[in-house]
């Protein structure tokens, strides 16, 4: 396992659309392992492969307090989303130290493959629904700040560029 470097907004690579995983081989399993370690070290609750410059449809999530309930979503797709929406305060490992409110469907059903290539479907609500949608946005080349006003995005990008030049991220 290795901790991978996380891309930071406004890095243009964050806007790359991820390709479906054709085969769950050792390379993909190693990516999942490295992504999990990276997420735990950061620390975060979710990470998409796009954030570590691997442009394949892989997401890892762990909402447990003990950090021992890793969930892997390969080639995830939302099969249903509720009409009811809810605002959540979101943050992102690619946008360190910035949080803002995003309106999303309050519930979703997601179909994906697990690490062994078995298809599964889950019905998620609350934080899990938000996390899945947030990470799936990354796979589509979208960062949560794109839900914010252009003025907020410009401020965040400017502050992150300064932090990067100062070696703070």
Provide the CATH number for the domain around residue 127: 3.90.45.10
135 is catalytic: yes
- Asked if the structure places residue 28 within a domain, the reply is yes
- Phi-psi region at 85: left, alpha or beta (left = phi > 0; alpha = psi -120 to 50): beta
pLDDT for 63-99, tens place per residue? 999 999 999 999 999 999 999 999 999 999 999 999 9
- Asked if the structure places residue 59 within a domain, the reply is yes
The response to whether 92 counts as a known ligand-binding position is yes
Distance set, CA 51 to CA 25, 39, 56, 113 (Å) = 20, 10, 11, 20
Closest by CA to 94, choosing from 161, 37, 9, is 9
- Whole-prediction pTM value? 0.95
Domain total in the chain = 1
Mean pLDDT of the region 21-39: 98
Amino acid 114: pLDDT = 98
Residue 69 has, within 13 A of its CA and on its CB side, a CA count of 7
Mean pLDDT of the region 57-66: 97
Amino acid 1: pLDDT = 74
pLDDT for 99-150, tens place per residue? 999 999 999 999 999 999 999 999 999 999 999 999 999 999 999 999 999 9
User: Which residue in 41, 121, 135, 146 is the catalytic one?
Assistant: 135
Closest by CA to 3, choosing from 41, 46, 29, 30, is 41
The response to whether 138 counts as a known ligand-binding position is yes
The response to whether 123 counts as a known ligand-binding position is no
Distance of alpha carbon 11 from alpha carbon 122, whole angstroms: 32
3-state secondary structure 53-84: CCCECEEEECCCCCCCCCEEEEEEEEEEECCC
Distance of alpha carbon 12 from alpha carbon 33, whole angstroms: 25
Enclosing domain of residue 34: 12-166
Judge whether residue 49 has pLDDT over 80.
Answer: yes
Q: Look at residue 89 and give its three-state secondary structure.
A: strand
Amino acid 112: pLDDT = 98
- Asked if the structure places residue 97 within a domain, the reply is yes
Distance of alpha carbon 156 from alpha carbon 159, whole angstroms: 5
Amino acid 161: pLDDT = 87
């Amino acid at each position: 396992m290795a901790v991978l470097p996380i891309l930071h907004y406004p890095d243009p690579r964050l806007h790359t659309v991820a390709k479906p995983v054709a085969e769950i081989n050792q390379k993909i399993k190693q990516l999942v392992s490295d992504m999990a370690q990276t997420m735990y070290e950061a620390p975060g609750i979710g990470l998409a492969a796009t954030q570590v410059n691997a442009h394949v449809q892989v997401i890892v999530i762990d909402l447990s307090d003990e950090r021992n309930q890793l969930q892997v979503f390969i080639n995830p797709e939302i099969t249903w989303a509720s009409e009811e929406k809810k605002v959540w305060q979101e943050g992102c490992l690619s946008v360190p130290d910035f949080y803002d409110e995003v309106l999303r469907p309050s519930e979703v059903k997601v179909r994906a493959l697990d690490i062994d290539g078995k298809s599964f479907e889950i019905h998620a609500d609350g934080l899990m629904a938000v996390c899945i949608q947030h990470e799936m946005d990354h796979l589509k080349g979208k960062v949560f700040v794109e839900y914010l006003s252009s003025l907020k995005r410009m401020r965040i990008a400017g502050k992150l560029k300064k932090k990067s030049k100062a070696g703070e991220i």
